[in-house]
Amino acid sequence: MPQMFIFGLGYSARFLASALAAEGWTIAATGSAGTVAFDDTDAVRHALRASTHVLSSVPPAAGGDPVLDLYGNALAGRWLGYLSSTGVYGDAGGAWVDEASPVRPTARPARAEADAAWLALGARVFRLPGIYGPGRSAIDRVRGGTAHRIAIEDQVFSRIHVEDIVGGIVGSLATGAPPGAYNLADDLPSSQNAVIEEACRLLGTVPPPLQSMDEAGLGPMARSFYADNRRVANGRAKRMLGWRLRYPTYRDGLAAIMARARPAGAEAPSVP
């Protein structure tokens, strides 16, 4: 059976690892829940030699991509995947972007540089918008009293349920999709306010008041979320990966989270 090595066993990668393990894959990974320490170069290189597939979810640092800097020369001859961000497209003024759109990030240019570096290596680069799922959704923020509605007109975002990220990556493995960029986003870009309002409707609670970013006390990272305005097209992933969304809209995804009644703060699956 194939063996997957994952750099950075974070939220999304843990869902992927659990799904692959259930299909008989052997999984090794770095990260707090992983099996190998990232800076244990001998152990990582030994695990890489035994792996047929490698996926990185490690974000870039200011000086470059940590995975490529330390292990880039040990990745040849393997299926490569990289979890990137639709933030590489920057602000589109609410227009649609696809994989042919220019890469011009509004912030964090290191992400675009890492995206390009993985593409140059022949990776499947999965560009992800806002990620949500069990334990990490608008429902959890409303329950925890940390949800905000920000008074910004015509601001639109795309998002993706974590299980649909898994579906896209598994689809790329099953179909033998060629290297390149793939947007994994749902079918209904919308404002963050609409998502919060839907979560409140499902919970039977009153939405939080509209506020400015200053009134909401948003820090630099949260503010950067509102710097871009775009709709992310997903047609290429559907065509090339045989990808079918389990949760085509945030309404579907939030309803499923409510139905599962997972408590706020619940973690992603553990890896067998």
Q: How confident is the model at residue 243 (pLDDT cuts 50, 70, 90)?
A: very high
Q: Which residues are CB-contacts of 106 (< 8 A; sequence separation ≥ 6)? A: 87, 90, 91, 224, 227, 228
For the chain, give every domain's residue range: 3-260
Q: Which residues are CB-contacts of 77 (< 8 A; sequence separation ≥ 6)? A: none
Q: What is the pLDDT of residues 121-139, one digit of tens each?
A: 999 999 999 999 999 999 9
pTM listed for this prediction: 0.94
Alpha carbon distance 133, 117 (integer Å) = 29
Count the Cβ atoms, other than its own, within 10 Å of residue 197.
Answer: 17
Residue 265, pLDDT above cutoff 60: no
Residue 272, pLDDT above cutoff 70: no
Contact yes or no for 260/246 (Cβ under 8 A): no
pLDDT at 126: 98
Give the class (CATH, top level) of 3-260: alpha beta
Percent of the chain with pLDDT over 90: 86
Residue 264, pLDDT above cutoff 70: no
Give the lowest-confidence range in 11-25, 124-138, 222-236, 250-264.
250-264
pLDDT at 261: 65
Alpha carbon distance 36, 29 (integer Å) = 6
Count the Cβ atoms, other than its own, within 10 Å of residue 76.
Answer: 9
Alpha carbon distance 28, 9 (integer Å) = 9
pLDDT at 186: 98
Mean pLDDT of 206-215: 95
pLDDT at 227: 87
Alpha carbon distance 247, 80 (integer Å) = 26
Q: What is the pLDDT of residues 39-68, one digit of tens each?
A: 999 999 999 999 999 999 999 998 899 999
